[in-house]
Structure 1
């Protein structure tokens, strides 16, 4: 496989790889490193890529595994939570602050989910993968993916309702 063919194959899902890595590692720098490491590994094994039914699914699985390894390492203690990628024009300052608070709260709630639920909600709701694709990536049955996603959404919904109804009887 030549470089141009390799780039044509892997570049369409580069941003998805980065977003999954960022969701798991939180740090932009760590996510960039993970993305770079993944593409380096794919390039080293470019001759084997044709053996995979879905290179994108394989890359996502590699990303997930790499991120989990990074989180388990001792260097993971310095990862910081930063969410500054939500912007909307044409709203009042109060409304914008409310929206930013809500988005930050949802990100925080997602971060507090168990790892599997966090990854499934990222792949399904943010990256918009199909259940079968997620099942293949995570080596689970589509039914288990649906159940886990439902539980994650329910947890987030309950926590948001609890926060918004605070002090109201």
Structure 2
């Protein structure tokens, strides 16, 4: 089986090849920053998470199992660091969504993409702000799943791999996260 580029780079970096590790950083720093920013909505914290992720990757390269996708491993590290930061914040949400069983909506589907006018840009900007505020209030266990699903465009299986959870748990959290967002957004949009 042909090893992925990232797996080969990890193996080279483990042997001390600094340029191989620099290439890993180059491949993932922007992707990880965007994911972290979407979870934390704080530029400094997102930058810190990316830096901490690469430090952990570097220190734990010998633990990387090259039978698993490198992207899964690195996203798992970054996501867990984001979740840790979210848990340390004061909660500003209710857990009412936990008992809900209704099908929710994907707030991002409401954002128009073409035929923009100054008026629609203003409305779009306000809509995005409202959606981002709603996502910010999600409990960490739903927020991580929603960001990975709808903003990082990962499949349920990939999210399960990143978070080390069964796909059925991921499906439940996506459902409950959407319901939580639907309840938050139905009064604002």
Flag whether TM exceeds 0.5 (same fold).
yes
Task: Quickly say closer, same or farther: Cα 1:9–1:108, change in 2 above 3 A.
Answer: same
Structure 1 counterpart SS, 2:187: helix
2:147 paired with 1:122: yes
Structure 2 partner of 1:34? 49
User: Which structure has more helix as a fraction of its residues?
Assistant: 1
Q: Which runs of 5+ in 2 are unaligned?
A: 1-11, 91-112
Structure 2 partner of 1:96? 121
Residue 103 of structure 1, CA deviation? 0.4
- CA distance in structure 2 between the partners assigned to 1:71 and 1:124 by the alignment: 18
Structure 2 partner of 1:144? 169
Structure 1 counterpart SS, 2:68: coil
Structure 2 counterpart SS, 1:163: coil
Residue 145 of structure 1, CA deviation? 0.9
CA distances 1:57-95 after superposition (whole Å, capped 9, x unpaired): 11112112222333455xx68xxxxxxxxxx89733332
- CA distance in structure 1 between the partners assigned to 2:82 and 2:74 by the alignment: 12
> RMSD value over aligned CA atoms?
2.7
TM-score (norm 1): 0.75
Alignment of 1:15-94 (within 5 A): 15-51=30-66, 53-73=68-88, 91-94=116-119
Residue 162 of structure 1, CA deviation? 2.8
Instruction: Return the structure number with greater relative CO, CA threshold 8 A, min gap 6.
Output: 2
CA distances 1:133-165 after superposition (whole Å, capped 9, x unpaired): 11122121112211211222233234333323x
TM-score (norm 2): 0.68
Residue 99 of structure 1, CA deviation? 0.9
Structure 2 counterpart SS, 1:162: coil
Task: Quickly say closer, same or farther: Cα 1:163–1:116, change in 2 above 3 A.
Answer: same
The answer (yes or no) to whether the contact 2:49–2:78 under 8 Å persists in 1 is yes
